[in-house]
Amino acid sequence: MMTIVEQLHPGFQWAEPPQKGGDLEVEQVGSDLHISGLMPRYQAEDAPSDLIRQFEKAPKSRPIGQQRTGKESPDIRFANADSDEKLIAFVRRFGPVVAKCVRYIADKESGEPQSPAMLMALQDVQELRNEHLIYRAALRLIILFKEHDFDYELAQKLMREISAHIGDWPRQWERERSQRRSEPIWKLSTESLRRIGQMASARRDSLLSPTVDGRIVICELLNSFRGMSFPNPLEMYGGIKYGIRPLLYSILRRQFFAPREFAACANTQCRDFFNIERAGQQFCSPECSQQQRQRTYWKKRGKKLRKKRLIGKRKKKR
């Protein structure tokens, strides 16, 4: 008896690297990143540029010869990308987050599209920075929801961060629609934008749970990216051709409803996100743990030493 197994996950890739085993090609030209790669053929399993697959395998994977850090998951990588260098590295692996435009590159000799097709996308660097700030704030909010002592002031700060940087989404939707000549699969409504702004500036309600405003903001973000099913990889690919942002928010949806154990590093000089890999883990690395413990020790010890020195100086004056 033969069993037919349907492949439910053909792959989620913006593009394949031009060179096997490499990354997408990225060049910064002025305020834009020029990103190029091959149209995905979904022939390779476990592709490094497949954002969803890399999220699924992150808790189990360990680079050979390297210590695990809990930072391999794509959502964690993007949220931790607090410099242009890190953001470009993320784009080099997974593709544009929100593209200004996408086109096929023609063969230099014939002028016809290459086979397999080569894609080129432009990613505005400032838009990329804004997306990082929104996503990082949203992920931090989700962590706050799990904490015993909910920090309402921090939640308000994170909501203001989201509200301050999300205003371009409607314009980006119009830009994408004009290039597609059809409606994108995502949309932040005017009402949702207004509601996020209201929650970011609202006063705490004495009757409702302190987490409710933050949960409203997260839901408004997630509802901008509706869940959809596609009959084939080609139609599925159309949803992310102009950027992998829908994939990032599909991961955020998972983290909101069924979160992995993840946290922000307890090292006050780090605060990177990481997947928790053992019970009681508070730091993203042994180095962060040691640095914070030394800082805490010297803060306590230093106070005693300063007091002792001050007493010594007073005695000498006598």
The yes-or-no verdict on residue 4 having pLDDT over 60 is no
Res 5: pLDDT: 39
Q: What is the pLDDT of residues 73-82, one digit of tens each?
A: 999 999 999 9
Calpha distance 298→99 (Å, rounded): 48
pLDDT at residue 288, as a whole number: 82
Range in 88-102, 115-129, 212-226, 258-272 the model is least confident about: 258-272
pLDDT at residue 1 greater than cutoff 50: no
pLDDT of residue 108: 60
* Average pLDDT, integer, range 277-297: 76
Q: How high is the pLDDT of residue 3?
A: 42
Q: Which two tokens stand for residue 42?
A: 């979904």
Q: What is the spatial distance between Cα 68 and Cα 81, in angstroms, rounded to a whole number?
A: 18
Q: Is the pLDDT of residue 115 over 70?
A: no
CA 279 vs CA 68, 145, 182, 262, 276: distances in Å: 15, 19, 48, 11, 8
Q: What is the mean pLDDT of residues 162-181?
A: 95
Least confident of 92-106, 118-132, 230-244: 230-244
105 or 33, higher pLDDT? 33
Q: How confident is residue 310, by pLDDT bands cut at 50, 70 and 90?
A: low
If you average pLDDT over residues 164-187, what whole number do you get? 94
DSSP string, the chain: -------S-----S-B-SSTTS--EEEEETTEEEEEEEPP---STT-TT-HHHHHHHTTT---TTS---S--SHHHHHHH--SHHHHHHHHHHH--SS-SEEEEEEPTTT-SEEEEEEEEEEEEHHHHHHHHHHHHHHHHHHHHHHSSS--HHHHHHHHHHHHHH-TTHHHHHHHHHHHHTS--SB---HHHHHHHHHHHHPPPPSSS-TTHHHHHHHHHHHTTB-----SSHHHHHHTTTT-SHHHHHHHHHHHHHS--SEEE-S-TTT--EEE--STT---SSHHHHHHHHHHHHHHHHHHHHHHHHHHHHHHHH-
> CA-based Rg of the chain, rounded to a whole angstrom?
23
Whole-angstrom distance, CA of residue 217 vs CA of residue 213: 6
- What are φ and ψ of residue 26, in 5° steps? -130, 130
pLDDT grade for 293, boundaries at 50, 70 and 90 = confident
For residue 6, what pLDDT band results from cuts at 50, 70 and 90? Answer: very low
Mean pLDDT, rounded, for 298-309: 62
Mean pLDDT in residue range 38-49: 82
Q: Give the mean pLDDT of 196-221.
A: 93
Which residue from 192, 199, 245, 254 is spatially nearest to 220, judged by alpha carbons?
A: 192
For the chain, the average pLDDT equals 85
pLDDT for res 150 = 92
Residue 66 confidence class, pLDDT cut points 50, 70, 90: low
pLDDT at 2: 40
What is the percent of the chain where pLDDT is above 90?
51
Q: Which of 54-68, 107-121, 153-167, 233-247 has the highest mean pLDDT?
A: 153-167
Q: How many Cα neighbours within 13 Å face the side chain of 256? A: 21
Q: State percent of the chain over pLDDT 70.
A: 82
List pLDDT tens digits, range 226-255.
877 777 777 778 889 999 999 999 999 999
Range name among 69-83, 121-135, 188-202, 266-280 with the lowest pLDDT average = 266-280
Task: Give backbone dihedrals phi and psi of 168, rounded to 5 degrees, phi first.
Answer: -80, -10
